[in-house]
Structure 1
Amino acid sequence: MTAVPDPDQTWFDPTDIELAVEVVSTDSLERDRGIKPRKYAAAGIPHFWRVEKNDGLPTVFVYELDPATNTYAVTGIHHDRLKLSVPFDIDVDLTEVARRRGSQA
């Protein structure tokens, strides 16, 4: 998928999705850690990231779909820096994200 044809579109075909990301809150903890990853894996979405706050800083849990079991396998837990080349190149200083967010509060 290269572009969203309709900015109001809220549903996408799972075959068009390379990465699903969930940002966990107190209210969504159970869904974001259990229910949603199982649904994304069953739909065949190859990559899943879960973002949680630990001691005021973001932690990103990175998973890849294991086609043999159709479940996600953890490939990394990132505390200070998220630097990956799969599913795309990304380099984010997670401590800077927390600092910027704190300065806007």
Structure 2
Amino acid sequence: MSVDPEIPEPETAYHWPVPPEGGWTADDLDTLPDLPPHTELIDGSLVFVSPQTLFHMRAISFFEWQLHSLVPGEYDVLREFTIDLDRQNRPEPDVIVVAAGDVADDPAMTRLSAASVLLAIEVVSPESVGRDREVKPLKYAKAGIAHYWRVENEGGRAVVFVFELEPTTGRYVATGIFRDRLKVPVPFPLDLDLAEITAKRRG
């Protein structure tokens, strides 16, 4: 039977993966087929991200490139790379500073251990507010990540909330809120002009 070329073929419905009993594991992210880019695993559930805003993209790029030029030689900077917190949690921070020796010279590498991470940065999106403000900080602290920065869009300008792990309690404590400049002594000395995140390129 001939097919009329003017009649479009029906689209095949996407079949969402059905989690096994007990939820997905960190290893499953490497084997599940056709997952959307930047899928995370939180408490055994798959988390899909919304389309990226211009602010989100510019903030990630800003911290990635600024940190690349400022981190000490024993560290490396990666963007949108998953980390293993435990068997059921494999989030993807927007930017991480990691021990350079733990980054394998392997193009097929897909994740790092939380023990390798010195700093995790999350740029908040409308759909990620709860995760970035409440869920992820608790999990990052429990995993022993020493520094956590949360970046938010405040009326079109970046504000950075800085947290440091208090070793006795194993919880983060707030060490500063920065709107115009981010100047901190740890995890290494930094002095960044946050206005550059939303500044338009000229020339």
TM-score bracket, shorter-length normalisation: 0.7 to 0.9
User: Deviation string for 1:8-67 (max 9, x for gaps)?
Assistant: 433211221100110000010000001100100000000000000001000000000011
Tell me, in whole angstroms, the C-alpha distance in 1 between the residues paired with 2:149 and 2:107.
23
* Aligned residue number for residue 12 of structure 1: 112
Tell me, in whole angstroms, the C-alpha distance in 2 between the residues paired with 1:80 and 1:7.
37
1:89 maps onto 2:189 in alignment: yes
1:61 maps onto 2:161 in alignment: yes
* Aligned residue number for residue 2 of structure 1: 100
TM-score (norm 2): 0.47
Relative to structure 1, is the Cα distance of residues 13 and 99 closer, same or farther in structure 2, using a 3 angstrom cutoff? same
* Aligned residue number for residue 6 of structure 2: none
* Aligned residue number for residue 180 of structure 2: 80
Find the residue that maps to 1:37 and give its secondary structure. helix
1:24 maps onto 2:124 in alignment: yes
1:44 maps onto 2:144 in alignment: yes
**In the comparison of the two structures, how many residue pairs are matched?**
102
Of 54-63 and 7-16, deviating more is 7-16
Find the residue that maps to 1:45 and give its secondary structure. coil
Structure index of larger Rg: 2
Of 7-16 and 69-78, deviating more is 7-16
Runs of 4+ in structure 1 over 6 Å off: none
Counterpart residue type for residue 100 of structure 2: T
Which structure would you say has the larger RCO, counting Cα contacts within 8 Å and 6 or more residues apart?
A: 1
Structure 2: runs of 5 or more not aligned: 1-98
Shift of 1:97: 1.9
Identity %: 49
Greater share of strand: 1
Tell me, in whole angstroms, the C-alpha distance in 2 between the residues paired with 1:85 and 1:7.
33
Greater share of helix: 1
TM-score (norm 1): 0.88
